[in-house]
Copies of this chain bind each other. A is one copy, B any other.
Amino acid sequence: MYLFSSILGVFVFDEESKLIDSMEFNDLGDYQNREEYTAKIKNKHKNLREPDEAAFKKILTHFKDKKYHTKFHEMNLAITKLGVKNSVNEDNLIIQSIKLIDELDKSINLLAKRLRDWYGLYNPEFSSSVHDHEKFVSEILDSSKDELLKKINVVRKDSMGADFEQENLEPVKSLAHRVHDLYQLRKSNLDYISSIMDVYCPNTKAVCDVILAAKLVEHAGSLKRLSLLPASTIQILGAEKALFRHMKTGAKSPKHGLIIGHSLMAATPMHLHGKLARALADKISIAAKVDYFQGQFIGDKLRKELEEKFK
């Protein structure tokens, strides 16, 4: 006798491929417990075996019956939905967060420039004295015009700024509040990515810092794919345009892609960048593999080796 199982249930056929017993699954739960059903039916019937090719063909014709079609469709849909549902993992969360950070940067930049321009009608001296957007936003939220002018040694009557009524100052302050909120959202998102990485890929995080690690995962598509990439690919990940230009026109090959953003790069003299990029990509490649296969934490060791070499 043959044992045959599919997404519909488990079935027993005799030597002539006639159905003699079956346990159909009623829902996804039954399907997920399919091992149990198989065990039960194996207890009931002795000498069950897998159908050979000829028997298999005959058995399949049995399922051409229309009564199975709807069930097939339903179960298939349910299983696919479950697959989609289960496919959401840390990779997706990291990728969404890092993309958001990128978009927040764009929005903040746009709105902070508008804020400077607008606030500049009221207090141009201060607007041009502070270059950092974030500092600018929090200072104008915290202090009055007179306090801010005092900081830069200007008295109000010397200021070129117009005297705004409260009603005209209100929209500027509201804008400043919203920009401030966006900065906060950016910070909390960074913390969030960081907390995911502490569990999901602590080694990669230790070697590259949060933002770069997230960008690498985003660019590779997932930690799994990042861990499978050779170090030489990691080295130029994000510099695809330059790479293809190199291949097509023989221009110089890119020394580094995303990893140019690593904090060690800025601290290393230009002529060592190529060397550092190779070493860095090596360590990232190791870290990502350890993370994916859930090895022990060696991130700080890897990072230290790098820092010693390039200090």
Q: Which residues of A contact B (CB under 8 A)?
A: 28, 78, 81, 84-86, 88, 92-93, 96-97, 99-100, 103-104, 106-107, 110-111, 114, 117-118, 121-122, 124, 157-163, 167-168, 170-171, 174-175, 178, 181-182, 185, 188-189, 192, 195
A155 to chain B, nearest CB (A): 12
B171:A188 contact, CB within 8 angstroms:
yes
- Measured in the bound complex, the distance between the Cα atoms of B269 and A212 in whole Å is 54
The one of B84, B103, B188 that contacts A110, using a Cβ cutoff of 8 Å: B103
- Measured in the bound complex, the distance between the Cα atoms of B84 and A97 in whole Å is 44
A100:B85 contact, CB within 8 angstroms:
no
Using known A-B contacts A81-B158, A114-B99, determine if residue A93 contacts B168 with beta carbons closer than 8 Å.
Answer: yes
A189:B162 contact, CB within 8 angstroms:
no
Question: Which residues from B are CB-within-8-Å of A88?
Answer: 121-122, 161-162
B92:A121 contact, CB within 8 angstroms:
yes
A111:B107 contact, CB within 8 angstroms:
yes
- Measured in the bound complex, the distance between the Cα atoms of B100 and A110 in whole Å is 9
Question: Which residues from B are CB-within-8-Å of A97?
Answer: 171
Question: Which residues from B are CB-within-8-Å of A161?
Answer: 85, 88
- Measured in the bound complex, the distance between the Cα atoms of B97 and A174 in whole Å is 12
Question: Which residues from B are CB-within-8-Å of A182?
Answer: 178
- Measured in the bound complex, the distance between the Cα atoms of B110 and A103 in whole Å is 7
**9 shortest interchain CB distances as A-B pairs:** A88-B162, A107-B107, A96-B118, A84-B160, A81-B160, A103-B110, A88-B121, A171-B192, A100-B114
A172 to chain B, nearest CB (A): 8
Using known A-B contacts A96-B117, A114-B103, determine if residue A189 contacts B171 with beta carbons closer than 8 Å.
Answer: yes
Using known A-B contacts A178-B181, A188-B174, determine if residue A96 contacts B114 with beta carbons closer than 8 Å.
Answer: yes
A26 to chain B, nearest CB (A): 13
- Measured in the bound complex, the distance between the Cα atoms of B192 and A303 in whole Å is 54
A174:B178 contact, CB within 8 angstroms:
no
Question: Which residues from B are CB-within-8-Å of A28?
Answer: 157
A191 to chain B, nearest CB (A): 9
8 contacts between A and B (CB under 8 A): A78-B158, A88-B161, A96-B117, A97-B171, A99-B117, A103-B111, A106-B110, A181-B181
- Measured in the bound complex, the distance between the Cα atoms of B81 and A124 in whole Å is 11
Question: Which residues from B are CB-within-8-Å of A188?
Answer: 171, 174
- Measured in the bound complex, the distance between the Cα atoms of B92 and A117 in whole Å is 10
A164 to chain B, nearest CB (A): 8
Using known A-B contacts A171-B188, A171-B189, determine if residue A96 contacts B121 with beta carbons closer than 8 Å.
Answer: yes
- Measured in the bound complex, the distance between the Cα atoms of B111 and A178 in whole Å is 14
Question: Which residues from B are CB-within-8-Å of A160?
Answer: 81, 84-85
A99 to chain B, nearest CB (A): 6
